[in-house]
Structure 1
Amino acid sequence: MRDKKIFIIDDDKGICLSLSKFLETEGYETYTYQDPREALQDFPVRNPQIVLLDLKMPHMDGLTVLEKLKAQDKNIYVVMMTAYATLESTIEALRRGANDYLLKPFKLSDVTLALERAEKVINLERENIKLKEELKILKEYEIVGESPQLKEVLDIVKRVSSLNVTVIIYGESGTGKELIARTIHFNSPRKNRPFIPVNIAALPEELVESELFGYKKGAFTGATTDKVGIFKACDGGTIFLDEVAEASPRLQAKLLRVIEYKKFTPLGSTREEEVDVRIIAATNKNLFELVKEGKFREDLYYRLNVVPIHLPPLRERVEDIPLLVNYFIKKYSVRYNLQEKALDDEALKLLMSYTWPGNIRELENLIEHLLIVTRSLRITKEDVLNLMKRKSTEKAKIKTLEELELDYIRHVLNLTGGNKKKASELLGIDLSTLYRKIKKLEGES
């Protein structure tokens, strides 16, 4: 651990050895240097958090070393050590960034006190950094809108955040399901633990289990070491399972066990592991309909559906569009250091009359693009129409990855004369995965 590493830089070998021996009994990992040039070379590699630094040394004086350390890491905690302390040297060291001072000869109890002071300062800095990160996250994922539909959603979010219940968020693509999940997490008792989003549909079926639950060495060809899965990495925190409707029957069974018993078995292991995670799931499909069709486990559905949150599409909260537009204008003006622009009334009316199939994500993308390409500070209806036309043309030309994949599967099936076993070998996927993809092909035709 970084906070257990201390550099001792002193040309006196005896001081280096005695301090090193004492600090190791106190649980620190120590590195001693009689030549400060070696310490500076090792600093970015060893990455200590505390440095005990002698003021007077032959190769390089302590003040110069101090400046070089601070240039590499402004937060490094430095305690100066010297037998030649004067008011001037103390002030100069503090001015250049030293945090504390030890006057030689010092007692080991003096060192202990100095390190206790260091720990307090370091912990305080850590808390400040954590708070800044949380504020940055909350600002980045700010929920914008005042429509009754959104207020209803936020009321549920407020009530469930502090409860350790499973939540499922329903909504079309681009409505902000992950944003709601993050808001729940950062307003919950788990806010200081990890939040890990996982898009189940984006993970290949043959990899999804090993990614989520990890595996043991030798579990399959290529498993040369143990791997910690996402569930274990998220212990104590919140895992966001997006597109949960795409989970295979096998994965559904494993998810059910995690929810019911807080246990899972890594691939290649015979021993269950315990985990404490809150699950927030999301889907753009009707899970209950999938249950009736036999495509989704009923027991898992009821376990996930403890608190359902239904996110309205943007076309159903039109009154929020002006607020969202202003928010995105400010956001991207700051990000790209642009002079703030504004939409005229006709442009805004056009945006409010559009159906937004891509929802908030589509609106955000459009505003970002308009700010970059529009030369005038006033964005007109014509600017919006021109960009919308261009985007719809581009969209018509571009095939999705799924469409390209299905085209390739068609091609391989033609090459093998419809032999599915040969096709699966050529494609590098198992037969069950190929059959699932063929079903999609049949659904298209």
Structure 2
Amino acid sequence: MAEILIVDDDPQLRRSFGRILQSEGHTVRLAASGEAGLEEVKTRVPDLVILDVRLPGMSGLETYQAIRDVEAKLPVIIMTAYGTTETAIEATKMGAFDYVLKPFDIPSMLDLISQALKAGRFMRTKVAVDSVPDSFRGDALIGRSRAMQEVYKAIGRVAATDATVLIRGESGTGKELVARAIYQHSHRAQAPFLVINCVAIPETLLESELFGYEKGAFTGAASRRVGKVEQAHRGTLFLDEIGDMPVSIQAKLLRLLQERSIERLGGRRPIPVDVRILAATNRDLEEAVAQGRFRDDLFYRLNVVTLMLPPLRDRREDIPLLADYFLARFAAELGTPNPGLTAEARECLMAMDWPGNVRELANVIRKALIFNRGYPLEPADVLRAVGENGPEEASGRRVVSAGEEGGGGWLDRWIFEQLDQGRSERLFDELVDDFSARVIRAALEITGGNRTQAARLLGISRPTLLARMEKYGIRVEASVT
């Protein structure tokens, strides 16, 4: 999955932790000193470095600075004992992704590693604008329509500035790709780019995740913690789904935008920060302001520059380009020949309403390719990939004539049926669990029961997948890994 370098003078930790990471599918390289670790990075840049602060010879901070001189966008996680927490905090301020205290909790560490690898990919994987990246190893904003040309122009205008940018559009339109393109074309491109999903993190944790906390700020705060805002100092912070940010946290974000300073939880002094804010939402913020769910002063601060991404149904002429791109990209990723699309399949794709936008189109192409038998994709292959219950239902629920509004499909009907029948006080959690179990079973079926490949397909760690499988009572044959 990824190549990880562990730099630590403790041979037992190197071996044991290295075996754990290898069991997760990673390639692990080991170094016992800062000098050796630096040579490893110079020889071949890994995807992530896990670095101890206390090292013989070159110190952890000196090693970290030397690594940054070799590859500024390489994510580094600092390991430290309680006595060297301040040193780790200094490294984080310098741009280290995060730090952990020894002894650390393995599942929490694995989750942090997953976050760091994702951040590293975001920073180092270029977003091609209106072109296909070399060997399909990057991401791309694809489209020749007039609406997308306006988006490209806007990216060019705002990238060179430090202006706050609000990226708006429906789910699946590519808001994160636009944020990354702005970052990569800005003068902050060598500094950190960190992402916070405001709806994925519980309200009780979001504030500390953003702004950090002081030792003793609350029960369990055994040491000082630097938040993502400070970690992104001199870089860029992307706040995804900002329309779902709790009102209780919006005041602190407003202060950041107005005064360029923050206070950690439990802190008493302002901390100056230099960070550019990019934000994205699929919510109607004007309506949220009117309903009191979003601060009007924060909305005006965020709304300095607005980029509106068009839904896919409003740029149907781009669908064949996107389909060809995804087909070639996924064929390369899966190691299978690119079967191509028939003219009838292209017409079928262009006739659909795509409520999930580009993300949905990508998923349909991937699924159709997985079940392809070598011949060019036809309308039946596309429709089968769209609907679980066969092309007839898929066609009925998704294909629309020009100007017609798209209707709900099997998933919508299933949800309404459950809501109509449900009387449980935990109905929402039960529905989420039911759907999650269906998705996991599908991933295991596609990968032939291989847990590692299924976790990779779902974008989660293997321990997370195993925990969910145990929770939902999902079993596969013992011989499958």
Point out where structure 2 has 5 or more consecutive residues left out of the alignment: 1-6, 10-28, 45-65, 76-119, 128-132, 395-408, 430-481
CA displacement 1:240-292 (0-9 Å, x = unmatched): 11111112222110010000111111111111111111101111112122222
User: What displacement does 1:302 show?
Assistant: 0.7
CA displacement 1:110-145 (0-9 Å, x = unmatched): xxxxxxxxxxx9888547989999663334221111
Q: In 1, Cα distance between the equivalents of 2:324 and 2:371?
A: 17
Q: In 1, Cα distance between the equivalents of 2:164 and 2:337?
A: 44
Question: What are the equivalent positions in structure 2 for 1:83-94 lying under 5 Å apart?
Answer: none
Q: In 2, Cα distance between the equivalents of 1:286 and 1:338?
A: 42
Partner of 2:449: none
- What SS does the corresponding residue of 2:43 show, helix, strand or coil? coil
1:142 to 128, 131, 140: 140
Question: What are the equivalent positions in structure 2 for 1:332-371 lying under 5 Å apart?
Answer: 332-371=330-369
- What SS does the corresponding residue of 1:208 show, helix, strand or coil? helix
Partner of 1:45: 32
User: What displacement does 1:50 show?
Assistant: 8.1
Point out where structure 1 has 5 or more consecutive residues left out of the alignment: 8-41, 52-69, 77-120, 413-445
Q: In 1, Cα distance between the equivalents of 2:158 and 2:139?
A: 18
Partner of 2:60: none
Question: What are the equivalent positions in structure 2 for 1:262-301 lying under 5 Å apart?
Answer: 262-301=260-299
Q: Tell me, yes or no, if the aligned pair for 2:365 and 2:385 is still in contact at 8 Å.
A: no
Q: In 2, Cα distance between the equivalents of 1:132 and 1:244?
A: 22
Partner of 1:241: 239
Q: In 2, Cα distance between the equivalents of 1:74 and 1:256?
A: 42
Q: Tell me, yes or no, if the aligned pair for 2:337 and 2:374 is still in contact at 8 Å.
A: no
- AA aligned to 2:363 is N
Q: In 1, Cα distance between the equivalents of 2:316 and 2:241?
A: 26
Question: What are the equivalent positions in structure 2 for 1:9-408 lying under 5 Å apart?
Answer: 44-49=31-36, 75=43, 126=71, 136-138=125-127, 139=133, 140-390=138-388, 395=411, 408=425
Rate the CA distance shift 1:220–1:406 in 2: closer, same or farther, 3 A: farther
Question: What are the equivalent positions in structure 2 for 1:427-442 lying under 5 Å apart?
Answer: none
Q: Tell me, yes or no, if the aligned pair for 2:166 and 2:307 is still in contact at 8 Å.
A: yes
- AA aligned to 2:324 is N
- Which deviates further from its counterpart, 379-388 or 353-362? 379-388
Q: In 1, Cα distance between the equivalents of 2:73 and 2:282?
A: 38
- AA aligned to 1:171 is G
User: What displacement does 1:173 show?
Assistant: 0.3
Rate the CA distance shift 1:75–1:132 in 2: closer, same or farther, 3 A: farther
Rate the CA distance shift 1:291–1:43 in 2: closer, same or farther, 3 A: closer
- What SS does the corresponding residue of 1:343 show, helix, strand or coil? coil
- AA aligned to 2:180 is R
User: What displacement does 1:296 show?
Assistant: 1.4
Q: In 1, Cα distance between the equivalents of 2:242 and 2:313?
A: 24
User: What displacement does 1:184 show?
Assistant: 0.3
Q: Which has the larger radius of gyration?
A: 1
Q: In 2, Cα distance between the equivalents of 1:274 and 1:372?
A: 50
Rate the CA distance shift 1:277–1:129 in 2: closer, same or farther, 3 A: closer
- AA aligned to 1:170 is R
Q: Tell me, yes or no, if the aligned pair for 1:340 and 1:377 is still in contact at 8 Å.
A: no
Rate the CA distance shift 1:255–1:132 in 2: closer, same or farther, 3 A: closer
Q: CA RMSD in A?
A: 3.8
- AA aligned to 1:234 is A
- What SS does the corresponding residue of 2:353 show, helix, strand or coil? coil
Rate the CA distance shift 1:410–1:378 in 2: closer, same or farther, 3 A: closer
Rate the CA distance shift 1:128–1:283 in 2: closer, same or farther, 3 A: closer
User: What displacement does 1:148 show?
Assistant: 0.2
- AA aligned to 2:264 is P
Question: How many pairs does the alignment contain?
Answer: 314
User: What displacement does 1:380 show?
Assistant: 0.7
Q: Tell me, yes or no, if the aligned pair for 2:198 and 2:239 is still in contact at 8 Å.
A: yes
User: What displacement does 1:150 show?
Assistant: 0.5
- AA aligned to 1:48 is E
- AA aligned to 1:316 is D
Q: Tell me, yes or no, if the aligned pair for 1:171 and 1:283 is still in contact at 8 Å.
A: yes
Q: In 2, Cα distance between the equivalents of 1:153 and 1:387?
A: 30
User: What displacement does 1:387 show?
Assistant: 2.1
Q: In 1, Cα distance between the equivalents of 2:244 and 2:325?
A: 33
Partner of 1:431: none
- What SS does the corresponding residue of 1:312 show, helix, strand or coil? coil
- What SS does the corresponding residue of 1:173 show, helix, strand or coil? coil
- AA aligned to 2:231 is A
Q: In 2, Cα distance between the equivalents of 1:358 and 1:406?
A: 29
CA displacement 1:375-401 (0-9 Å, x = unmatched): 13311111112222217787469879x
Rate the CA distance shift 1:187–1:73 in 2: closer, same or farther, 3 A: closer
- What SS does the corresponding residue of 1:228 show, helix, strand or coil? coil
Q: Tell me, yes or no, if the aligned pair for 2:72 and 2:191 is still in contact at 8 Å.
A: no
- What SS does the corresponding residue of 1:390 show, helix, strand or coil? coil
Q: Tell me, yes or no, if the aligned pair for 2:73 and 2:190 is still in contact at 8 Å.
A: no
Q: Tell me, yes or no, if the aligned pair for 1:346 and 1:381 is still in contact at 8 Å.
A: yes
Q: Tell me, yes or no, if the aligned pair for 1:161 and 1:187 is still in contact at 8 Å.
A: yes
TM-score when scaled to structure 2? Answer: 0.58
- Which deviates further from its counterpart, 285-294 or 175-184? 285-294
- Which deviates further from its counterpart, 239-248 or 156-165? 239-248
User: What displacement does 1:300 show?
Assistant: 0.7
Q: In 2, Cα distance between the equivalents of 1:347 and 1:189?
A: 43
Q: In 2, Cα distance between the equivalents of 1:346 and 1:357?
A: 21
